[in-house]
Amino acid sequence: KGRRGVGGGGEPLYLEDEHYMDWVVWANTLFVILMFLLSKSNENTIKFGLSWHVYYMMNFMNPAKGATPRWSHTTESYVPRGTVTFRSDDEEMVVMVTTIAGALIAILATFVPRPLANISRVHDDAAAITTSISQIWLEAIHYFCSGKQLKERFQIRQKIDKLETTVSSVQSNLVASWWETCDMFGCGRVRALYAKFDTMACDTNDFMHALQASIMDETFNAQHNEFCDQLLEPMERLYESASTLMAKCCECCRDGWIDDDESAELKRQAQTVKEHQAALLEAYNRACPGVTLGLSNETLFVYALSLWARKVTELAQEIDEYEDGLQTAYCGAVFRILKNGLWLTYNPKAMFNPDHLNFALRNFLSISITYYLGYTLGGVGSIFTQYSATMASTLSLLISHFSGSAVQKNLQRLLGVSLGNVTPIIFTMILNLMPCEDPMRFWVHAAGLLTFTFAFTYMYYTSSQWSLVGCLIAGFGMNQLLTPCNAFESFSYDAKYKEIGMVTCALLIQMAIDTVLVPESPRQMAIRFTEAVQVAMEEGFDAVFDSDVKKMHECHAAAKSALDSAKALAPECDPKLQVVGGMAADFKYVMYLDVLRTLTLLLSDLAMIIQAEEDSTGAGEAKDIEMPGSSGTLKLLNSGHSIGILKEDLLPSLHRGFETLQVVLAHDNEDAIMDEGLDEIAKTHMEPLLGRGELMKELLGERGVARGCVAELTEDRRCKFNVILRALRNAKVHMGMIEELCIKASVKQ
């Protein structure tokens, strides 16, 4: 084992290297595999890095190959150890050149017919978000002031649900766009401005579901219609000015440069929005002079509109002011990005996260075991080829973070890799019916390559269920289809069948390891995510009554993260995807989807309370309510005598509903669900939130409500009282909807 050269007669020359030690090579191989898997690098970086690592290390450990030769053509002898030489026919050189060439061709292909860059997707997504939010508000205002319930409310709900998907894609495209631009040629400014736009869009999306609840709950009584008659025109004016300003902000982000004309236009439009905010506040004061239960839903609606307009105005101000610091903002950007990238890649907290450790351990065991089998097994009559890295290299390309069923994903992998290896054999068999000298063979071969590639890459990009299979067939099949024509040797099927056997064996090993180390089924993970939402929600609403804004923010973020994970997992919870049903009853999939939608509304209720409480200590608001020493809307509410009644009604209702939900979701047999909470819910009539009316009387009576010197609705504490109390009421209603879903699911047993 060691260096390889060429003798004087051209024959291979192998020289033993006294410095070669098996245990050192094994330690190096396994250590690098582990470090790749522990790192938080991009998944594709890990895949291809691992694949080439195990391939080259297997060649290095193969006595017939050994290390790359250090053979000098000038001296016809070995050059000293440590000297690097290059030969154009070295395998490493060929791989490097062809890989770079292939990558460049693939990159160039993305520019035809138009560049398919992530930064372009950011442009498109930002424009789509602007159009979507504007359209939602236009339709919402028209529906809210229509005077009757119409089917359009369901269209608005669908658009709000779709908005969440578009908003979530902007951040991922922003992160990926750095690799395309390196923040050069002004792209850094573009990305920085779009990051601010994305922050505004995310903040807006957080309370859009509260708007949805307001629309769906409205019954259009006489008081509502009178309110809307007075506020329709101010709302339309504010919508038009805010929508125009948002479109202008999106336009300014596109090139990253804010000239004097754009700056002046941003200031002018922002001032128009502020004037319309003041007009809306004045109209609201006339229509709703105090804090009233009857107009709490209407107040939440106009508050959400004012809040969106305020965030657009703040975005315009940030974009306008950002220009002053552009010359120094990116000094040393490359160094900072490299430093941050290195830290994010090898951050110990992220590397040793339990979920990531599970990912690293599963893949380390499967790759290491198959590497050892490829190193040791082989011989006559065996499907294995000794010193073959096929199994380990294949598994390196198939690593992934499981979010649900490992069995289902591995079966799809097995299908994709098998078809990717078998299909080219069938095609090559047909192709070999034509002699190499036949000119038509080239055209038939080319047509087959194009058809194969197009069919399965199209499947990859368009199929939601079978995209992985299409990707694997295309990826593993393309190499086989490039087999050259050899007129003197018959096509050998033995090596191909051995390769299929080794790949199948590797996947079976991976399936066995994943089955053991991924013990949770999708339904168990769904229950775990729901429990995480429960903990965060209960603590978040408890923090509302403690006036702990920081805790509310933390709980909202935790609940949103768990809810997003639950939504991503939801498709895998469908009982139709189970490979083996077993003794357990089917998971209540339809109910689970309805619960996730309702939990989104509950999360938006908490977000609305947070928004109403923020900036409550402004100087202008101290005059809002004539109470010495007031320091926040929530503190004023929580100082009321009736707040205890409200708290004792809401928090136990939330806890009871969540506990019942866990029982129903965890029920896995055909027996009736026996649960005291479920029985209590079935016997109890859904009642409005207790204590809300008494608290209103306190606010209107003893404390008194003054209009105060504020510029817009989002600064008016009377409006905030209405919004917070309505959000608390909605929280109980939405939990009641979850309880109703639990009752329906238990009846079907």
The pLDDT of residue 490 is above 70 = no
Q: How many CB atoms lie within 10 A of CB 74?
A: 6
Check: CB of residue 530 under 8 Å from CB of residue 595.
yes
Tell me the C-alpha distance between 13 and 6, whole Å: 5
Is residue 382 pLDDT above 70, yes or no? yes
What pLDDT, on the 0 to 100 scale, is given for residue 625? 38
Q: What is the dihedral angle through the alpha carbons of 683, 689, 695, 699, rounded to the nearest 10 degrees? A: -160
Fold of 118-339: Methane Monooxygenase Hydroxylase; Chain G, domain 1 (1.20.58)
User: In angstroms, rounded to a whole number, what is the distance separating the alpha carbons of residues 196 and 258?
Assistant: 14
In the chain, ranges of CATH 1.20.58 domains: 118-339, 522-747
Q: What is the pLDDT of residue 288?
A: 77
Listed range (11-25, 32-46, 178-192, 729-743) with the worst mean pLDDT: 11-25
d(C-alpha 122, C-alpha 323), whole Å: 20
Confidence of residue 86 (pLDDT cuts 50, 70, 90): low
Distance of CA 633 to the CA centre of its chain: 34
What would the pLDDT profile of 28-51 be if each residue is shown by its tens digit? 999 999 999 998 887 888 888 899
Q: Is the pLDDT of residue 88 over 70?
A: no
- Residue 7 CB neighbours (<10 A): 10
pLDDT at 623 over 50: no
Least confident of 123-132, 148-157, 524-533: 148-157
For residues 149-155, average pLDDT? 83
What is the model's pLDDT at position 10?
Answer: 47
* Band of pLDDT at residue 372, cut at 50, 70 and 90: very high
pLDDT per residue as tens digits for the range 548-599: 888 999 999 999 999 988 888 888 787 777 766 666 777 888 889 999 999 9
Which of residues 108 and 66 earns the better pLDDT score? Answer: 108
**Distance between CA 678 and CA 656 in Å, rounded?**
9
Chain segment 249-260, per-residue pLDDT in tens: 888 888 777 888
Q: What per-residue confidence (pLDDT) applies to 426? A: 85
pLDDT of 629 higher than 70: no
Question: According to the model, what pLDDT value does residue 240 have?
Answer: 92
The CA dihedral of 393, 398, 400, 404, to the nearest 10 degrees, is -140
What are the tens digits of pLDDT across the range 283-317? 888 887 766 677 888 888 888 999 999 999 999 88
Q: Hey, is 6 helix, strand or coil?
A: strand
Tell me what the mean pLDDT of segment 435-459 comes to.
88
In the numeric block, which tokens belong to residue 718? 């009377």
Q: Quick check: 642 and 695 in contact, CB under 8 A? A: yes
The helix or strand, by DSSP H or E, that contains position 475, with its residue range, turns out to be: helix 467-481
Q: Is 463 helix (H, G, I), strand (E, B) or coil?
A: coil
Regarding predicted confidence, which is higher, 676 or 382? 382
Tell me what pLDDT residue 687 has.
66
What is the residue-wise DSSP string for 221-237? -HHHHHHHHHHHHHHHH
Specify burial of residue 390 (Cβ count, 10 A radius: 0-12, 13-18, 19+): buried
Give the model confidence (pLDDT) of 55-77 as tens digits.
989 988 888 776 555 444 444 44
pLDDT (0 to 100) of residue 535: 93
Contact criterion met (CB below 8 Å) for 604 and 210: yes
When pLDDT is cut at 50, 70 and 90, the band that residue 717 belongs to is confident
Tens of pLDDT, residues 204-247: 888 888 888 888 878 888 888 888 888 889 899 999 999 999 99
How far is residue 375's CA from residue 379's CA, in Å, rounded to a whole number?
A: 12
- Has residue 703 got a pLDDT over 70? no
Residue 529, both tokens: 């995510």
Average pLDDT over the chain reads 79
pLDDT for residue 365 is more than 90: yes
pLDDT band at 87 (very low <50, low <70, confident <90, very high): low
Give the residue with greater pLDDT, 437 vs 155: 155
Per mean pLDDT, which of 195-199, 378-382, 403-407 is the most reliable? Answer: 195-199
Return the higher-pLDDT residue of 324 and 98: 98
pLDDT band at 370 (very low <50, low <70, confident <90, very high): very high
Q: What would the pLDDT profile of 689-699 be if each residue is shown by its tens digit?
A: 766 667 766 66
pLDDT at 713: 79
Mean pLDDT check: name the lowest of 153-167, 451-465, 664-678.
664-678
For 16-70, give the DSSP string. Answer: E-TT--HHHHHHHHHHHHHHHHHS---HHHHHHHHHHHHHHHHHHH-TTT-SPP-
Kindly tell me if the per-residue pLDDT of 366 is higher than 80. yes
> Per-residue pLDDT averaged across 501-528, rounded?
83
pLDDT of 91 higher than 50: yes
What is the fold of 522-747? Answer: Methane Monooxygenase Hydroxylase; Chain G, domain 1 (1.20.58)
The per-residue pLDDT for 67 is 59
pLDDT at position 477 is 86
